[in-house]
Amino acid sequence: MKGKRKDLWKAAVVGFCMLAIGAAGCSKEAQNGSESPKADKQKQQITISAYDAGNTPPEEGTIEKNRWVTWMSQNGPAQIKVISIPRTESVQKFNTLFASGSAPELIQEFSGPFRNQLYDQKLILPVDDLIEKHSTTYKDLLKQYPALKKAATMPDGKMYGFGRINGLRPHNVLMVRSDWLKKLNLQVPQTPEELISVLKAFRDNDPDGNGKKDTITLDMGSRSIQVIDSMFGNVGWVISGDKMVWDWDRAKAAAAFKKQLYDEGLIDKDYLTKKGSGYMGLYAQEIIAGKIGMWGSSVHQSDIETFKALKKADPNAELQVIPLPATVFGQFSPILSNPVQVTAMINADAKHPEAVMSYVDFMAAKETGQTLKYGVKGEDWKEGSNGCQQFIDKEKTDPKIKYTAAYTMLFSPIVEGSCGQFQASLNPSDPIEKQYLDLMKQAYDIYLDEKRPMPDFTHPEHIPAMPGELQTSFNNATKNIGDIWTKAIISGTSYTIDQAFQDAKSTWDKNNGKNIEEWYAKWYQDNKTKAFLTKDFYEFKLKF
């Protein structure tokens, strides 16, 4: 294996052909699926993975073959062969491909634990020398944002991946029907007790005015559950007194609050068995129908569509993003999106690693990213009055770019400034879209304030991997403990929070809990100045 890899490093450097984007001729060739035979002979072919989220319009082709794969091959430094990866089963598919020796040369994947696995198994290449000798655009990005190197560096001190700078933005938000607050003369809740009082008023005082006691005061989709946990700082590992500890008191308090919601009929009693799909969440239809007073939302496009549908059903509906109520543990914000994200790795058996490096440079370029995100400049979009991308005919362009996020995992939205957020995809001159932009501005102002930090010590994609046996014990323990808390929440007086607390701690102890705590404590002391932690996130804060 070592000899083979050494030979690979001697492969000829592929010349990087920087792109002249915006030429109408290129766009038409891409649409026709034509390719230049001359270009084929001058370029290496590389294989890359791309998530298939099932959203490629049939008229566009498939995630493997479409106008943009042709366009990237024509305008970039290499011929591209795409290997489709199911979005919801990506790790399983990659494991199968590696087992059969057919994994792509460029592995594009968000999962931090999977990257740790590939590193441990020596299935990916260190990229420091490649970047130093053969990179231009990505090398400059590293110089401008050193945290990108920190995020990609593994225990041996070398980088094992490429990434992007997203900028810091909210991920989950707590939304409330502010028109209901006004109607019932209620204030935004500042504490858990005030939150309970508001929800009881929603339950008892018929805020939708239909004469029926049918309001779901708070949805219990996954985002709302995460928001409640964040409110209590219940995120497992926390840094306390410059030590990493597993916090039981926060877990107990969060479970007790959820139990109170359940016992007092403030949430859907069937939330555990309710089915839903996609980013729309479990309760989108109830939100649209005006049956829910408060819910956990996100910054996904589907939540914009939920908002539009609500406004269509009830033009008088008003929403507000609110801070999480303060608890005895402090005041926090829900989990934030990962500002510095490692998204791609090079297969250790890559035939053309230098060509892959040139492709990474091409995909990190601002012009490339904007073309894939918005279409061809002058044909699909122009610069609007706010300096951001404005679609010329959004309805016409939408099908062409609906699936292109699969190809932009190496593009850093931060290079677009605030335009890389919602300003480019929403029209501020449209009254409904302007209202949603205002909601997102509220979220940015409230949740990106360091006075209300995200309680997690880092984003899940940056959490370190424990040795295999400890990781297995931890996975078993946390699953079983989660089941214990859930049982207490829905069991009334037959199984109390105090009983669950003792059972949860016992389960932890039986699953190597002490050794897991010792491992994390040591990891933190050894890496607290080197790891990418939540305290580092706020330098990437963007103004909305």
Domain membership of residue 242 (yes or no) is: yes
Range of the domain at 307: 172-336+427-447
Is the domain of 247 the same as that of 236? yes
Domain membership of residue 358 (yes or no) is: yes
> How many Cα atoms are found within 13 Å in the side-chain-facing hemisphere of 313?
15
> Whole-angstrom Cα distance, residue 38 to residue 35?
9
**Total number of domains in the chain:** 3
Domain membership of residue 410 (yes or no) is: no
Name the helix (H) or strand (E) containing 71. helix 67-75
Q: Mean pLDDT across the stretch 528-536?
A: 93
pLDDT value of residue 1: 42
Given a contact cutoff of 8 angstroms between Cβ atoms, the answer to whether 397 and 151 are in contact is no
Q: Mean pLDDT across the stretch 306-335?
A: 96
Is the domain of 107 the same as that of 182? no
**Poorest-pLDDT segment among 246-260, 371-385, 501-515:** 371-385
pLDDT value of residue 387: 78
Structural tokens at position 504 = 């949860």
> Whole-angstrom Cα distance, residue 45 to residue 78?
6
pLDDT value of residue 411: 96
pLDDT value of residue 302: 65
Q: How far apart are the first and last CA of the chain?
A: 49
pLDDT value of residue 40: 53
Is the domain of 133 the same as that of 280? no
Residue 448's φ and ψ, nearest 5 degrees, are -95, 20
Is the domain of 104 the same as that of 153? yes
> Whole-angstrom Cα distance, residue 47 to residue 239?
41
> Whole-angstrom Cα distance, residue 299 to residue 335?
12
pLDDT value of residue 278: 41
Model pLDDT for residues 208-265, shown as the tens digit of each residue = 999 998 999 999 988 999 999 999 999 999 999 999 999 999 999 999 999 999 999 9
pLDDT for 26 beyond 90: no
Is the domain of 223 the same as that of 108? no
Residue 34 is given by DSSP the state -
Domain membership of residue 403 (yes or no) is: no
Model pLDDT for residues 270-298, shown as the tens digit of each residue = 888 876 544 345 788 899 999 999 999 88
Q: Mean pLDDT across the stretch 461-490?
A: 94
Is the domain of 215 the same as that of 97? no
> Whole-angstrom Cα distance, residue 191 to residue 193?
5
- Look at 177 and 3; give whichever has higher pLDDT: 177
Is the domain of 127 the same as that of 87? yes
Given a contact cutoff of 8 angstroms between Cβ atoms, the answer to whether 472 and 512 are in contact is no
pLDDT value of residue 305: 85
Kindly list the distances between the CA atom of residue 385 and the CA atoms of 26, 380, 429, in Å, as whole numbers in the listed order: 27, 16, 11
Kindly list the distances between the CA atom of residue 440 and the CA atoms of 169, 278, 310, in Å, as whole numbers in the listed order: 10, 21, 16
pLDDT value of residue 295: 94
- Look at 543 and 181; give whichever has higher pLDDT: 181
Domain membership of residue 251 (yes or no) is: yes
pLDDT value of residue 532: 93
Is the domain of 439 the same as that of 470? no
pLDDT for 41 beyond 70: no
Is the domain of 115 the same as that of 197? no
Give the domain-ending residue among 418, 447, 476: 447
pLDDT value of residue 446: 96
pLDDT value of residue 282: 72
Domain membership of residue 54 (yes or no) is: yes
Given a contact cutoff of 8 angstroms between Cβ atoms, the answer to whether 377 and 22 are in contact is yes
Comparing CA positions, the residue from 386, 379, 376, 447 lying closest to residue 416 is 386
pLDDT value of residue 425: 65
Is the domain of 243 the same as that of 270? yes
pLDDT value of residue 27: 39
Q: What is the mean pLDDT of the chain?
A: 89
- Sequence-separated (6 or more) residues with CB below 8 Å from residue 215: 202, 203, 206, 207, 208, 291, 292, 293
Beta strand 45-52 pairing with 79-86: parallel
- Largest Cα–Cα distance in the chain? 77
How many percent of the chain have pLDDT more than 90?
76
Is the domain of 54 the same as that of 158? yes
This model's pTM is above 0.85: no
CATH number at residue 130: 3.40.190.10
Domain membership of residue 389 (yes or no) is: no
> Whole-angstrom Cα distance, residue 9 to residue 11?
6
> How many Cα atoms are found within 13 Å in the side-chain-facing hemisphere of 347?
24
Structural tokens at position 313 = 């059903």
Domain membership of residue 377 (yes or no) is: no
Is the domain of 442 the same as that of 514? no
- Look at 459 and 301; give whichever has higher pLDDT: 459
Given a contact cutoff of 8 angstroms between Cβ atoms, the answer to whether 424 and 389 are in contact is yes
How many percent of the chain have pLDDT more than 70?
89
Residue 12 is given by DSSP the state P
- Look at 56 and 37; give whichever has higher pLDDT: 56
Q: Mean pLDDT across the stretch 430-437?
A: 90
Q: Mean pLDDT across the stretch 383-405?
A: 88
Q: Mean pLDDT across the stretch 154-182?
A: 94
Model pLDDT for residues 55-81, shown as the tens digit of each residue = 999 999 999 999 999 999 999 999 999
